[in-house]
């Protein structure tokens, strides 16, 4: 992955835009973009409430979107940017799509499977290993989640 810090922040800002779409639907604000050769080829946001689909996490929507635009299930040479650490399901899907690079903003201590609870993306027993980078716009990615849960508790 040879993007500069500025480029990574710009892509993460696009993922944050997706998170804001989720927020508009009053759902957990997580957003994702998939980038190939400096271009966004897939976008997604958590849409569990919007679509009433249990598995429609931001990463899944972005992978589906990128599969369609690439006309391929393999997303080689791609980097997935997501605002929050991927869960078990999404980490599995990242491997299945053969995505080699993942950049996420903030950790998810309760559900994270890319370093927190599990480390599926770099587990040596699996045949697909992913380069993982964390902490890009971490404060912004965490803040939108904290605001959401704080507001929800008030309701």
Quick check: is 70 catalytic? Answer: no
Number of residues that bind Zn ion (CB under 5 A): 3
Interface segment toward Zn ion; rule CB under 5 A; list 36-44, 53-61, 119-127, 142-150 = 53-61
Instruction: Between 3 and 33, name the residue whose CB sits nearer to Zn ion.
Output: 33
87 contributes a contact to Zn ion by CB under 5 A: yes
In the complex, the smallest distance separating the C-beta of residue 59 from Zn ion, rounded to whole angstroms, is 6
90 binds Zn ion (CB under 5 A): yes
Catalytically annotated residue among 9, 14, 39, 59: 59
Among 57, 79, 97, 141, binds Zn ion (CB under 5 A): 57
Element (DSSP H or E) covering residue 90: helix 88-96
Asked if residue 57 lies in contact with residue 89, where contact means CB atoms within 8 angstroms, the answer is: yes
The stretch among 45-53, 61-69, 85-93, 129-137 that binds Zn ion (CB under 5 A) is 85-93
| 45 lies in the site for Zn ion, by CB under 5 A | no
62 binds Zn ion per the rule CB under 5 A: no
**What are the phi and psi torsion angles at 79 (to 5°)?**
-120, 130
Of 8 and 45, which CB lies nearer to Zn ion in the complex structure?
45
CA-based nearest residue to 28, from 81, 67, 84, 72: 84
Look at the block and give the residue holding tokens 């404060």: 139
Q: How far is the CB of 55 from Zn ion (least distance, A)?
A: 8
Q: Which residues are catalytic?
A: 59
- Interface with Zn ion by CB under 5 A: which residues? 57, 87, 90
């Amino acid at each position: 992955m040879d993007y500069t810090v500025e480029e990574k922040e710009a892509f993460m800002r696009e993922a944050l835009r997706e998170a804001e779409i989720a927020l508009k639907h009053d759902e957990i604000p997580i957003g994702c973009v998939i980038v190939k050769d400096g271009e966004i080829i897939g976008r997604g946001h958590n849409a569990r409430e919007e679509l009433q689909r249990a598995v429609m996490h931001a990463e899944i929507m972005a992978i589906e979107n990128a599969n369609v635009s690439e006309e391929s299930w393999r997303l080689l040479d791609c980097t997935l940017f997501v605002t929050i650490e991927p869960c078990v399901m999404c980490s599995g899907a990242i491997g299945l799509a053969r995505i080699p690079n993942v950049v996420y903003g903030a950790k998810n201590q309760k559900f994270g499977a890319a370093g927190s609870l599990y480390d599926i993306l770099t587990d040596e027993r699996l045949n697909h290993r992913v380069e993982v980078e964390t902490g890009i716009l971490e404060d912004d990615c965490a803040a939108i989640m904290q605001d959401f849960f704080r507001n929800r508790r008030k309701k």
